[in-house]
C-alpha cells in the first residue's frame, strides 16, 4: 500500500478513511500504550473526552494481554516502549491477520520511522507534540476502518 501524508495535520496514514462516522463512540474501546505515565494519562483522558472507552497499558506485553482479552476496536501506541517496542507490538497483532487500526503516537520523527511503521501495519502516525484536534481527526477517520462500518 502506498502511504499518504496529511501534512496539514502532521499525520502520515497508509489507508484512507472517511471523515464522518455515525458509529456511537461510546461503544468503541481504544487501547492506549505508553510507558510514560503523564503521556498515558493525557492521551487516555483526551480519548475519553472524545467519547471513546479507553484501556491502558505501560508496555507491549501487558498490551498484548489486554488486546487478546478485550479485543479493542483501535490501538494508539508509543513506539519507544520497554520489552517489545511499538513496532514489535504491531507486528505481533498483524501476525494474527488482525486488521484493528493501530495509530503511532510518538516523539520519534516520521521521516525516520514511517516506513518501519507502515511495514509493521500501522494505519497512522502522529508526532508528539501534537494538536489535540489531530488525534481526534485521526481517530474519527480510522473509525471507517472498523468492520462494522464496512
State pLDDT tens for residues 76-109: 999 999 999 999 999 999 998 899 999 999 999 9
Q: Looking up cell 472498523, which residue turns up? A: 146
Distance of CA 145 to the CA centre of its chain: 12
Residue 124 lies in a domain: yes
Q: Cβ–Cβ contacts within 10 Å for residue 91, how many?
A: 15
Split into its structural domains, the chain has a count of 1
Question: Which residue range forms the structural domain that includes residue 99?
Answer: 10-149
Predicted pLDDT at 17: 38
Residue with cell 500504550: 33
Mean local confidence (pLDDT), 52-81? 97
Whether residue 76 is contained in a domain is answered as: yes
Mean pLDDT value across residues 43-72: 97
Closest CA to 80 of 72, 71, 89: 89
**Is residue 43 a part of any domain in this protein?**
yes
Q: Cell numbers for 98, please give them.
A: 488482525
Amino acid at each position: 500500500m502506498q502511504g499518504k501524508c496529511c501534512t496539514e495535520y502532521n499525520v502520515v496514514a497508509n489507508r484512507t478513511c472517511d471523515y464522518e462516522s455515525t458509529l456511537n463512540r461510546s461503544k468503541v474501546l481504544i487501547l492506549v500504550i505508553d510507558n510514560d505515565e503523564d503521556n498515558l494519562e493525557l492521551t487516555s483522558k483526551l480519548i475519553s473526552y472524545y467519547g471513546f472507552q479507553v484501556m491502558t497499558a505501560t508496555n507491549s506485553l501487558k498490551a498484548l494481554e489486554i488486546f487478546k482479552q478485550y479485543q479493542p476496536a483501535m490501538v494508539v501506541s508509543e513506539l519507544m516502549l520497554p520489552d517489545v517496542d511499538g513496532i514489535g507490538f504491531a507486528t505481533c497483532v498483524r501476525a494474527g491477520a488482525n486488521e484493528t487500526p493501530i495509530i503511532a503516537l510518538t516523539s520519534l520523527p516520521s521521516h525516520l520511522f514511517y516506513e518501519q511503521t507502515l511495514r509493521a501495519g500501522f494505519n497512522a502516525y502522529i508526532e508528539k507534540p501534537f494538536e489535540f484536534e489531530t488525534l481526534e481527526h485521526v481517530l474519527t477517520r480510522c473509525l471507517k476502518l472498523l468492520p462494522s462500518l464496512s
